[in-house]
Amino acid sequence: MAKEPRPIDELTIWDDAKAMLKKARAEGIETVHERLDQQTPHCKMCELGTSCRNCTMGPCRVSEKKPLGVCGADADVIVARNFGRFVAGGAAGHSDHGRDLIEVLEAIVEGETTDYKITEEGKLRTIAGEIGIETEGRTVKEVAHDVMDEFFADFGSRRKEVSFLARVPQKRKDVWAKLGMTPRGVDREIAEMMHRTHMGCDNDAPNTLIHAARTALADGWGGSMIGTELSDVIFGTPTPRMSTANLGVIKEDQVNILVHGHNPVVSEMILAAARDPQLVARAKELGASGINVAGLCCTGNELLMRQGIPMAGNHLMTELAIITGAVEAIVVDYQCIMPSLVQISGCYHTKFIDTANKARFTGGIHYDFQPATAMTQAKEIVSLAVEGFAQRDKGRVDIPCEPIDIMTGFSNEAVIAALGGSLDPLVQAIVAGDIRGAVGIVGCNNPKIKQDSLNVGLAKELIKRDILVIATGCVTTAAGKAGLLVPEAIEMAGPGLKKICGSLGIPPVLHYGSCVDNSRIMQLCAALANTLNVDISDLPVGASSPEWYSEKAAAIGLYAVASGIQTHLGHPPHILGSETVTNLAVAGLEDLVGAAFFIEPDPVRTAEIFDERIKAKRKALGLSE
């Protein structure tokens, strides 16, 4: 029997989302929320993490009554293995994205493409210097070539540690070395995770978890960091700028192209093609006033940070954006693209275009996007969208709101520039207690949680307490829509944060980019720790992913904890079926790496827990609470 749909008011905090959910129901279109209703209640054992499909003696589901799988694996082993593979999946996603950027750099260096360029020679030389490459008297191509080789080697298996560990405070590196947690190579740790979790290998849950942390660190300080840094080198280091967010960025009188996914390699080229005078002229011929490119999810964040392109929405807005009826094309690369978008596009004139061979969608229009042919392909894609404008059914268009202003573009370089050239003023503000600490709120939406209620709720609670918030990923749009990403938001902040952000003209919630850009936060923490000559775990900082859903978020959470940062999750991963694993995650890791996870669904309580931690860390540093 079909369940009653949940009331729309319970699904999201946003009016634009509610309007589109109503439209979807009226038009008979199913969304993620109805599909969740169909899938619940979920299998209890899968929720607890105690089911295993790792071999064909099984599948096995262990419980109190039947405590061992066919091979003899108990709940601890099964939960640890499942979680290890879950983290490996996330690390693989981020890192394979990072590798794609190295391949673009390679195409530039080898002269295979002129569509992409080295935009930030200075940053390239800085990175080269950090990882020990000679830059003096060498051409940019020579340096780029060596950087490319170094980064490719970071994915292999012959290193003692990945190259960006050069940024990590020595005290932290010592912790990792002692535990056997030093990430050696990105692909190596991921492959080893798969090996260890084969039947009959690593049957000691804590040992498996240590390797899960090593795999996550290979992501945070390896694959993701390479992704962020090379994206800056190729597309420019973000600087503060204004933009807009919510479904109102979709324009009734324009050809609308939404870019969705993660990698700026595709979306940057789509944006450039959309500015082609011939294509703009063609759009006008067809009655549109222009071509509008807007972002979804993380590739949206990439374009927002560097180009100020407006943000249509986060994870749970992706289906709803199409339901406006005004989207000519949705162009995707990979990750977080719900397959349902193909079906929903099919309910309208919207063309669904996929661009990566490793992320193809049945029913989508496929382009095998390559650096050598990028601009030609991007123009073809934009042209498809433009021609689609004629097929738009004007009677079904409903753009539910006006866009809201946001400020974006806070790379570490931009922050240091805003501070006058060094981190010292930030350190002074922390020492003085004007900024008591900082928390990175990152990650997703999850249909199990009222959309953005925790993302926004937690950010508001923290800034009230003079705790600076740094936002990435899908939290960005949430913070933006809540009015937290503009300088005026200091009115919602505590007196210290209000003073500092007010004097700098910046918001109390800083948009730091996409999810691979959490590596920027790692770099900032490392730099602060190095300035103060302490470990990262000594800093009054925290991390949170209130509404997370993805394997990547688990990898991020784990590399944050392993780097010494207390990390909040709004709901638990599928580990509760093992006391050993759960206790290690929420307590035991504290003794090993100086930080652990905490799980808390209430944003006020979460802020209080962060507050207590920040007080303790400040006290230990000899600062006022």
- Is residue 491 within 8 A of residue 391, CB to CB? The reply is no
- Give the one entry of ligand XCC, ligand SF4, none that residue 441 binds, where binding means its C-beta sits below a cut-off of 5 to 8 angstroms depending on kind: none
Residue 473 binds ligand XCC, judged by CB under 6 A: yes
Q: For tokens 């789509």, what's the residue?
A: 270
∠ CA(316), CA(231), CA(238), 5° rounding?
A: 80
Q: What is the closest distance, in whole angstroms, from the C-beta atom of residue 581 to ligand SF4 in the complex?
A: 15
Q: Check binding of 515 to ligand XCC (CB under 6 A).
A: yes
298 binds, among ligand XCC, ligand SF4, none (CB under 5 to 8 A by kind): ligand XCC
60-61 and 51-52 strand pairing:
antiparallel
Site for ligand XCC in 239-278 (CB under 6 A): 262
What's the closest the beta carbon of residue 512 comes to ligand XCC, in angstroms? 12
Q: Which is nearer to ligand XCC, 389 or 559 (CB)?
A: 559
Residue 213 three-state SS: helix
Binding residues vs ligand SF4 (CB under 6 A)? 52-55, 57-60, 69-71, 73, 78, 199
What is the Cα–Cα distance from 287 to 283, expressed in whole angstroms? 7
- Residue 42 binds which entry of ligand SF4, ligand XCC, none, CB below 5-8 Å type-dependent: none
230 or 471: CB nearest ligand XCC: 471
Nearer to ligand XCC by Cβ, of 408 and 582: the residue is 408
DSSP string of 346-393, one letter each residue: HTSSPEEEE-BTTB--TTSEE----GGGHHHHHHHHHHHHHHHGGG--
Choose the contact partner of 444 out of ligand XCC, ligand SF4, none; CB within 5 to 8 A by kind: ligand XCC
Q: Give min distance, CB of 387 to ligand XCC, in A.
A: 29
Residue 315 interacts with, from ligand XCC, ligand SF4, none (CB under 5-8 Å by kind): ligand XCC
Q: First-to-last CA distance in the chain?
A: 56
- State which of residues 61, 306, 315, 481 lies at the interface with ligand XCC (CB under 6 A): 315
Is residue 553 within the footprint of ligand XCC (CB under 6 A)?
A: yes
95 binds ligand XCC (CB under 6 A): no
**255: which strand partners?**
291
Region binding ligand XCC by CB under 6 A among candidate stretches 170-178, 247-255, 545-553, 584-592: 545-553
Q: Closest by alpha carbon to 162, among 107, 111, 109, 224?
A: 224
What is the distance between the alpha carbons of residues 80 and 479, in angstroms, rounded to a whole number?
34
**218 token code pair:** 């290979």
321 part of the interface to ligand XCC, by CB under 6 A? no
Residue 199 binds which entry of ligand XCC, ligand SF4, none, CB below 5-8 Å type-dependent = ligand SF4
* Residue number, 60 or 510, with CB nearest to ligand SF4: 60
Q: Is 306 in the site for ligand XCC (CB under 6 A)?
A: no
Q: Which of ligand SF4, ligand XCC, none has residue 71 at its interface (CB below 5 to 8 Å by kind)? A: ligand SF4
Structure tokens at 234: 């190729």
Burial group, residue 620, by CB count within 10 angstroms (0-12, 13-18, 19+): exposed
Minimum distance from residue 526 beta carbon to ligand XCC (Å): 21
Residue 70 gets which letter from DSSP?
A: T
- Considering only CA atoms, give the Rg of the chain: 24
Binding-residue total with ligand XCC (CB under 6 A)? 14
Question: Which residue spans within 180-322 are E strands per DSSP?
Answer: 241-245, 255-260, 291-296, 311-313
* Window 407-446: contact mask with ligand XCC (x via CB under 6 A): ------------------------------------xx--
- Full DSSP string of 388-438: HGGG--GGG----S--EEEEE---HHHHHHHTTSSSHHHHHHHHHTSS-EE
Our CB check for ligand SF4 shows the closer of 72 and 505 to be 72
CA distances from 152 to 101, 146, 185 (A): 10, 10, 10
Stretch touching ligand XCC by CB under 6 A, among 230-238, 239-247, 353-361, 549-557: 549-557
- Alpha-carbon distance of 172 to 564, in angstroms, equals 8
- Count how many Cα atoms sit within 13 Å of the Cα of residue 532 in the half-sphere of its side chain: 23
CA-based nearest residue to 520, from 556, 484, 567: 556
Considering the complex, what minimum distance in angstroms separates the CB of residue 72 from ligand SF4? 7
Give the one residue of 298, 332, 468, 528 binding ligand XCC; rule: CB under 6 A: 298
Evaluate whether 336 touches 262 at the Cβ level (below 8 Å). yes
Residues near ligand XCC, by CB under 6 A: 262, 297-298, 314-315, 336, 443-444, 473-474, 515, 550, 552-553
